Structure 1
């Protein structure tokens, strides 16, 4: 009986020790924004967007929106500033900024009122 208990204890320890891993798997690529849209007045200005990423990222957008910074090299929390000129078109205009982090993307929609 003692030999059986000893064998079971050794087997259990071996199984537990073998199941431990030294390397944690990498977190999947992800990107999160608290808000995915914003509306601004017709005058020139800046809208800030905060993004949270688990890897490097980049942003692209419509011609009338200037993005600063355009990218980030590692995971973290980033304040991205979207600058725009006055909307003198006489009509509401809508632009999009696409943020990409690894295989994941998220779109921020910026609407600017007309004068």
Structure 2
């Protein structure tokens, strides 16, 4: 009987060691993925700047006055920013930071449970 328990114990230790190794490998892989995503996100502003620069220089090379090209792109960026700010405000206005129906339902359930417990202790 002791031999069986020892065998099962060793088997479980081996399984836990294997699970630990797999978990460490997955965590390292996830960490590497997060680092790659962070680098990619950090490069986005540079990419946008290069795209705008290329478009501006192309329009100037076509013959448009540099002042008007710069004003057009400034207006485009300002308009995009304005649209994003308005959309964000509307999202916040529609309950972005307020309690959701789920949270309100959980609060009601908690109150009901408190009442049930207090009624049970008073009987």
TM range, smaller chain: 0.3 to 0.5
The higher relative CO (CA closer than 8 Å, separation ≥ 6) is in 1
Indicate the structure with greater helix content.
2
Give the structure with the higher percent strand. Answer: 1
